[in-house]
């Protein structure tokens, strides 16, 4: 099957990651599903440095507003949001690996997706935890087209992508550049997809504030993908 005709499930550690790293891919595939892993507030309210930088008084306010931002952003790309009930690392209540794998497996099954697009797993603890859980799905889901995206903005860290690809090899996986998921040859379509991505990124006002002006340029870097397979599979 052509990759352009597959039904993708894009796994996003946080509310903005899928749009930052895969916005053009989503724009090219209306109806794609985006599963945000760390979408729940903590059991008890708290205040974190990142939420303060984003303009929020506390975690409850942050999650409510960020969910609304994400809904607007995904609507621009005609993507369907799916959200898991886990807290991100800043709220000090990360899920176990097994709990995360189980929830992602159920989401994949219910979505009827035949293509999974997961984070490569760079730098951030939540991204690494998500990437590890997604790899478990590759092991027990025959026929699944499995891709990873280079996590924006963390892929800008010198050597981060190369180190992670080498780590995947040491774990028994091959990762090859996925040219088939890159921007389309049609320049007009490419421009339209990029414009939609920019509009969608603009919906994450709180996160743009937290990133600050110096980091924003990296948010519009070219998307890059790798296809991952098990060695000797």
pLDDT at 229 over 60: yes
Question: pLDDT band at 184, cuts 50/70/90?
Answer: low
pLDDT at 211 over 70: yes
Structure tokens at 74: 């995904």
**What pLDDT shows up at residue 105?**
94
Rounded Cα gap, residues 226 and 3, in angstroms: 13
Question: pLDDT band at 2, cuts 50/70/90?
Answer: very low
* Kind of pairing between the strands at 173-177 and 225-230: antiparallel
Instruction: List the one residue out of 111, 122, 115 whose CA is nearest residue 21.
Output: 122
Q: How far is CA 124 from the centre of its chain?
A: 12
User: In this structure, what are the phi and psi dihedrals at residue 169, rounded to the nearest 5 degrees?
Assistant: -60, -40
The whole model's pTM is what? 0.91
> Any residues with CB less than 8 A from the CB of 209 and at least 6 apart, and which?
53, 54, 55
Residue-wise pLDDT for 95-154, tens only, equals 999 999 999 999 999 988 889 999 999 988 999 999 999 999 988 887 889 999 999 988
The C-alpha R_g of the chain, in whole angstroms, comes to 17
**What pLDDT shows up at residue 156?**
83
* Cα–Cα distance list, 165 to 76, 115, 168, 178, 227 (Å): 32, 20, 5, 13, 11
* Cα–Cα distance list, 163 to 99, 118, 177 (Å): 27, 17, 15
Rounded Cα gap, residues 196 and 141, in angstroms: 32
Q: How far apart are the first and last CA of the chain?
A: 19
Rounded Cα gap, residues 35 and 84, in angstroms: 7
* Kind of pairing between the strands at 225-230 and 145-149: antiparallel
Rounded Cα gap, residues 193 and 23, in angstroms: 8
pLDDT at 84 over 60: yes
Structure tokens at 118: 């997961």
Task: Give the number of other CB atoms < 10 A from CB of residue 9.
Answer: 26
**Higher-pLDDT residue of 204, 219:** 204
| Domains of the chain (ranges, CATH numbers) | 3-230 (3.40.50.10320)
pLDDT at 4 over 60: no
């Amino acid at each position: 099957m052509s990759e352009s005709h597959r039904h993708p499930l894009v796994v996003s550690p946080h509310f903005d990651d899928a749009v930052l790293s895969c916005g053009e891919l989503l724009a090219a595939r209306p109806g794609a599903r985006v599963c945000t892993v760390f979408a729940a507030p903590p059991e008890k309210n708290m205040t974190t440095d990142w939420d303060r930088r984003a303009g929020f008084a506390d975690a409850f306010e942050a999650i409510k507003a960020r969910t609304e931002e994400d809904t607007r952003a995904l609507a621009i790309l005609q993507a369907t949001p799916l959200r898991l009930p886990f807290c991100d690392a800043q709220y000090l209540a990360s899920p176990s690996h097994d709990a995360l794998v189980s929830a992602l497996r159920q989401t994949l099954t219910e979505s009827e997706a035949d293509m999974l697009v997961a984070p490569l797993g760079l730098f951030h603890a939540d991204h690494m935890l998500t990437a590890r859980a997604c790899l478990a799905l590759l092991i027990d889901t025959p026929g699944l087209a499995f891709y990873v995206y280079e996590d924006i903005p963390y892929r800008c860290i010198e050597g981060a992508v190369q180190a992670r690809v080498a780590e995947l090899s040491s774990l028994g996986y091959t990762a090859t550049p996925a040219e088939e998921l890159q921007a389309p040859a049609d320049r007009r379509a490419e421009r339209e997809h990029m414009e939609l991505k920019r509009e969608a990124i603009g919906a994450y006002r709180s996160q743009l504030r937290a990133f600050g002006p110096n980091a924003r340029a990296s948010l519009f870097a070219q998307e890059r993908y790798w296809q991952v397979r098990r060695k000797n599979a």
